[in-house]
Amino acid sequence: MEKEYREKDDNEIKVNVTSDNGHSEEYADDFYDENEIKKCHCEKCECDNCHCEDCDCDNCDCEDCHCGCCSNECDCDECNCDDCNCCCHEKHAYDEEILPETLIEDFSPSIVERGEEYYDDGKVISVHKVDNRYYAKVLGHDNKKYDVMITIYNEDDADYCCDCPCEYPCKHAYATLIAISEGDYDVVNLKDEVSRDIATLKETIEKIPADELKKYMLSDEGLDNVSVNMRAFNEHFRKYLPTQSYEYYYNNLYNSLVLDDGYDNMIKEYLSDAREYLKDNNFSETFKIVQSIIEAYYDSQINEEDELDLLNKLGMLLRIVYRKADENTKKQVREWQDKLKKENYYNNYYLEDVILSLN
């Protein structure tokens, strides 16, 4: 077999070495090591990492020999061979140099180690590539399938998402990243996403018969699942709600005034109720609220002079009630005026002005 000389460097000195089976090879003396094994170059698959089956050596450069990796079909990117199950796959075994260092740094050393074990153990079930996004199924330690999604923007930037409990880039994601670097994925072309046709609540209610809707709302399922803004609901359907007693308004406000405990918010609520009743032309309820506020203030001996704005609002409500109410309600107002006069409520000039403005 003819020997071919190669130069590693113009300045190197060559050393001719003959193997035990009579085959020769040449090394630079600066680098020669008798224990060094140089892989064969296979002319058939252009692979430099093979063991030659013809001459049973690892250090030949022959034209006719073929390597043991040329026996079965494969598609080897390393040696450009289309008809081998080649030994280059050992070289393909993943290592950190294949993955961009910047992406490896996204994972802790322990996660990297566990991710490699998961890949070795075949726990990456499937990986599908859609554009720059990869969808994977990975088995966990309990054989539960976890969904992993990795979006790679460039060699420095990637997003990792896994539905496992881990709150940082996990072993399932790293195992998937190894599979991606190895080309262990299928490229898929998805169809255009079609959005669900959704009707608004208004559109749905308009189609539901009133009796059917009412029946559902009153059922246990409806009461448990339908949520409404009760304040807005009550204001809208106030005429269907029970009215409150005079004692409800008077007693609660009196106690709050005496204790100086949150009566400002209570007054706002009372006035809001009074205005809503006024809108519904329920003048008797409006009068009841105004009456309870004034009497609670007087009986608790709170100085109404500090509440001039409140008295002006109450006076306006009273005047509207007296003008618009039916004769029965007007009679109640006049009787209340007489009561105030007898009980000397008029010793407060501001209150007197409010009451007399009705005449």
Q: Provide the domain count of the chain.
A: 4
- Is residue 333 domain-resident? yes
Residues 301 and 270 both lie in one domain: yes
Residue type, 200: T
- Is residue 324 domain-resident? yes
**What is the predicted pLDDT for the residue at 268?**
92
Among 32-41, 96-105, 134-143, 301-310, top mean pLDDT goes to 134-143
Cα–Cα dist 253/273, whole Å: 14
Nearest to 170 by CA among 161, 158, 179: 161
Residues 216 and 300 both lie in one domain: no
Query: Which of 225-229, 248-252, 338-342 comes out lowest in average pLDDT?
Result: 338-342
Please give the average per-residue pLDDT across 142-154, as a whole number: 92
Residues 73 and 2 both lie in one domain: yes
DSSP 70: G
- Is residue 75 domain-resident? yes
The answer to whether residues 149 and 130 touch, using CB atoms and an 8 Å cutoff, is no
Please give the average per-residue pLDDT across 102-109, as a whole number: 89
Q: In what order do the strands lie in the sheet with 186-187?
A: 157-162, 145-154, 133-139, 124-130, 186-187
**What is the predicted pLDDT for the residue at 53?**
55
Cα–Cα dist 219/76, whole Å: 67
Close Cβ partners of 111 (under 8 Å, ≥ 6 residues apart) = 169, 170, 171, 174
Residues 300 and 281 both lie in one domain: yes
* Residue 150 in tokens: 């990795």
**354: confidence class by pLDDT, cuts 50, 70, 90:** confident
What pTM did the predictor assign?
0.43
The answer to whether residues 48 and 65 touch, using CB atoms and an 8 Å cutoff, is no
Residues 64 and 134 both lie in one domain: no
According to DSSP, the residues that pair with 63 across neighbouring strands are: none
pLDDT for 125 beyond 60: yes
Please give the average per-residue pLDDT across 61-85, as a whole number: 50
**170: confidence class by pLDDT, cuts 50, 70, 90:** very high
Cα–Cα dist 160/172, whole Å: 10
Query: Could you report the per-residue pLDDT of 21-34, keeping only the tens digit for each?
Result: 555 555 444 443 43
Query: Could you report the per-residue pLDDT of 262-301, keeping only the tens digit for each?
Result: 888 999 999 999 998 998 899 999 999 999 998 888 888 7
Q: Between 233 and 61, where is the model more confident?
A: 233
Please give the average per-residue pLDDT across 83-100, as a whole number: 44
**What is the predicted pLDDT for the residue at 308?**
76
pLDDT for 135 beyond 50: yes
3-state secondary structure of 289: helix
Residues 300 and 331 both lie in one domain: yes
- Is residue 142 domain-resident? yes
Cα–Cα dist 293/270, whole Å: 8
- Is residue 260 domain-resident? yes
- Is residue 232 domain-resident? no
**What is the predicted pLDDT for the residue at 91?**
35
* Residue 77 in tokens: 């990117």
Q: Between 358 and 171, where is the model more confident?
A: 171
- Is residue 69 domain-resident? yes
Residues 259 and 319 both lie in one domain: yes
Q: Between 340 and 251, where is the model more confident?
A: 251
Residues 252 and 352 both lie in one domain: yes
**143: confidence class by pLDDT, cuts 50, 70, 90:** confident
> Count H helices, E strands: the chain?
14, 9
Domain that holds residue 339: 239-356
- Gap between the terminal Cα atoms of the chain: 133
Residues 65 and 124 both lie in one domain: no
Nearest to 274 by CA among 255, 261, 293, 260: 293
Residues 246 and 336 both lie in one domain: yes
Query: Could you tell me the CATH number of the domain that includes residue 107?
Result: 3.10.110
Residues 331 and 297 both lie in one domain: yes
pLDDT for 89 beyond 50: no
DSSP string for 231-279: HHHHHHTGGGSPPPPHHHHHHHHHHHHHHTSSHHHHHHHHHHHHHHHHH
Nearest to 29 by CA among 7, 4, 48, 61: 7
Residues 243 and 352 both lie in one domain: yes
**What is the predicted pLDDT for the residue at 145?**
95
**352: confidence class by pLDDT, cuts 50, 70, 90:** confident
Tell me how far the alpha carbon of residue 195 is from its chain's centroid: 19
Q: Which of 66, 92, 118 is the last residue of a domain?
A: 92
